[in-house]
A and B are shown apart, each in its own frame.
Chain A
Amino acid sequence: MDNSVLLVSPSPHVRARYSTRTIMLDVIIALVPALIAATVIFGWRALVVTAVCVASCVISEWLFEKLCKRDVTVGDLSAVVTGMLLGFNLPVSIPLWQAIFGSIVAIVVVKQLFGGIGCNFANPAITARVVMLISFAGSMSDFSTKNDAVSSATPLSGGEMPSLLDLFLGRHGGSIGETCALAIIIGGVYLIARRVITWHTPVVFVGTVMLFTLALGENPLEHALTGGLLLGAVFMATDYSTTPPTKWGKVIFGAGCGAITVLIRVFGNYPEGVSFAILFMNILTPYITSWTKKKPLGGVKKK
């Protein structure tokens, strides 16, 4: 027998079936219900904005990696996820060039300049949204649409508070992917069932917001169902690179996000605080991770 065909590689010689790509694919699948809901609620433009964001994220990642002579990693689908999440965080009336600008910020500035997937410390979609919120304050808070039923300001920014059922189904003003609580919860349950994320961050995040708003005399259910809270708690506060991997780290992260969200919503100048809260906690992530690291079994402290 010819020995040269024998492969010598390090153990283990079997690997789990999932990969970075299948995990990202699961996230995309989990985002589909919200995308469908957004198209129904806001019309076709919701789909167009999301598609433009996805395309510009993927293309800018490909171009940047080609320019830097790095391995092209668009196949891992993470840029698609970033694009979808950014699109979901924009109002449906956003000018498309602004959406493209935001995508480039997310991929090039926030992700690739720090070394690409896994190396960024801040969530690309969230950071890009915050940049856009400051750069294009007008169009980022213009929630008027051709659909009269939802062409109002978001409930949090002083619009009339719709019924709880309308809030749950997403029939109110807001960013493209954030309004339909039902669709986001379906996506979240799917991700937990597929073990892509654990329940800790989303449950603690939303729970903290409800608890704090209750304590401050506001309606906790309205706070849970409005703004980008659910979208942020399920899809952005659970990003691997930018949040703690440990169980207790996730709990602290979720609680911190919840507390800051309420502080901004109730006492701050912005009607909505989820993005800022997650971004702030992203910065604390390395510390939270090192506080909550498990102790090695049988480790002996050095004398």
Chain B
Amino acid sequence: MSIFKLKGVHLRHCKNTAEAVPVRMEVPKKLVLPMSMHIGAPAVPVVKVGDEIKVGQLVGEPGKGLSSPIYSGVSGKVKKIDEIISVAGTHVTTVVIEPDGLQTVSEDITPPKVTNREEFLEAVRMSGIVGFGGAGFPTTVKLSAEVSKIDTIVVNGAECEPYITSDTRTMIDDAEYVAEGLALIMKYLETDKAVIGIENNKPRCIESMRRATEGMSGVEVKSLPALYPQGGEKVLVYHTLGRIIKEGQLPADVGAVVINCTTVAAIAKYIRTGMPQVEKCVTVDGSAIAEPKNVIVPIGTPVLELIEFCGGFKCQPRKILWGGPMMGIALPDLTMPVLKQTNAILAFDRKDATPPKSSACIRCGKCAAHCPFSLSPCDISKAYEAGDGEALERSKVNLCMECGCCSYVCPAKRNIVQKNKLAKAMLRNYQTSKQGGGK
């Protein structure tokens, strides 16, 4: 068991929508489906402009290697195949569908036949399910870990980012799906132990998950302190199993598979119904949103339509976030669609959105004191500014999970985590060039 608690920060939780039962949004005016909603190779469109599309129909088949298929959440017609700039700032092929409003379900939708591990993995692959925690790592790859290596499944129900409550709702409304999905994963990964980690600011989720997993042997629902970034993969594994995932290792290397609770529920739903991942529960909140709520929305719905469904803006928005306030990305425009791994869209007014002015570092040491991995962020910034690759290597900046605690606690309001991200890129270049030079 873990002896020390990792550091972090106490945030205002702002879980305003925790009691908001998700409502289903009607068909959007337009569906925008980027072929890359996951880590790995983009999917390849299998439709042409003018094709008739039904709900649940394959739009993009998985690319080579690490990839995931993409399905349509509406019935309608393919209007165009185009390129847009993704949230990450890269160009990505995108299929735009004009819905007909009929929502005709594809006749191909049948529950998959799952009797063994191979069929289970293939089912998860074709379900289009990716890690819904935010990273969008294709789930099937996670589950393909060697059976002999894995002894514990860790279900991530921490949801440590402020505002977001979509996982909260999964654990309350779909607890039996989470339990069912977990049972399937445990069966096909041949593990007899699982831990569901939930932050203690969500007692209803803990209670609901305890009730749902009653009678399942080897499953423990663990209440964790509400300390950001509790839901970080390495942090969660440390606090639930007491195992340290070292530099360059994956959770599988310490015998664990970490999987988000909504992902687990989605696997159970797919195995039961055969309907692939075409919709997502998204928390819409923030000081500029008229009616904050949880919305089940077809994947590909433009953010603007989603916000209009929530009563639009109650004041001029200054910043729209894709994700939570700690790690979310600020959107440059509202035509961006909701993706598979989107769990929140937050809009803030001028007061909440304006970043504070940064000033000189006063060497208070708070950034290092609050880093969950005991890094020294201010030293990393210094090494980055000096372009010192060797110092960056020593600083272990590659361990940084970019949680943002350092920037949060900085009294001088410096953008420390941004420097860490840049430093990680610099370190990669340095290591590549060093290897090249050595040969």
Contacts and interface: CB of A to CB of B under 8 A. Distances in A.
Contacts of B313: 1
Given A20-B359, A245-B369, A296-B373, 15 more contacts: A5-B317, A7-B355, A10-B407, A11-B418, A12-B326, A15-B356, A16-B409, A16-B410, A18-B411, A244-B365, A293-B368, A294-B368, A298-B234, A298-B247, A298-B373
Contacts of A9: 319, 330, 355
B362 to A, nearest CB: 4
B318 A7 contact: yes
A118 interface: yes
Given A13-B348, A16-B409, A6 B362 contact: no
A302 B246 CA distance: 13
Interface of A: 1, 3, 5-16, 18-20, 22-23, 71, 73, 76, 78, 116-119, 240-241, 244-246, 293-300, 302
Interface in B302-336: 304, 313, 316-321, 325-334
Given A9-B355, A13-B353, A246 B326 contact: no
24 contacts: A1-B313, A5-B318, A6-B330, A6-B333, A7-B330, A9-B319, A9-B355, A10-B407, A10-B418, A12-B404, A12-B417, A13-B321, A14-B12, A14-B326, A15-B355, A15-B407, A15-B410, A16-B410, A19-B411, A23-B362, A118-B412, A297-B372, A297-B399, A300-B247
Smallest CB-CB A-B distances: 8 pairs: A245-B365, A12-B404, A294-B374, A10-B418, A296-B396, A3-B333, A13-B325, A300-B247
A241 B74 CA distance: 59
Given A15-B408, A240-B365, A10 B304 contact: no
A13 B409 CA distance: 12
Given A19-B412, A293-B376, A12 B362 contact: no
A198 B129 CA distance: 47
Contacts of B404: 11-12
Nearest to A78: B362
A116 B395 CA distance: 26
Contact of B411 (A20, A293, A299): A20
B321 A10 contact: no
Nearest to B373: A297
A76 B359 contact: yes
Contacts of B331: 6, 8
A153 to B, nearest CB: 38
Interface string B385-424: 0000000010110010010100111111101011000000
Nearest to B422: A10
B76 to A, nearest CB: 25
A21 B238 CA distance: 36
A226 B363 CA distance: 30
B141 interface: no
A5 B238 CA distance: 42
A12 B408 contact: yes
B417 A19 contact: no
Contacts of B411: 16, 18-20, 22-23
Interface in B238-295: 238, 244-249
Interface residues of B, number: 66
Contact of A6 (B244, B245, B332): B332
A207 B231 CA distance: 41
Contacts of B162: 14
B135 interface: no
B92 interface: no
Interface centre among A3, A12, A19 (most CB of B within 10 A): A12
A20 B361 CA distance: 9
Nearest to B330: A8
Given A3-B334, A7-B354, A116 B360 contact: yes
B25 interface: no
B401 to A, nearest CB: 11
A244 B364 CA distance: 9
Nearest to B319: A7
B246 A298 contact: yes
A300 B407 contact: no
B359 A11 contact: no
A12 B330 contact: no
B374 A6 contact: no
A122 to B, nearest CB: 13
B319 A300 contact: no
Contact of B408 (A3, A16, A22, A244): A16
A18 B393 CA distance: 32
A30 B396 CA distance: 38
Contacts of A299: 246-247, 396, 399
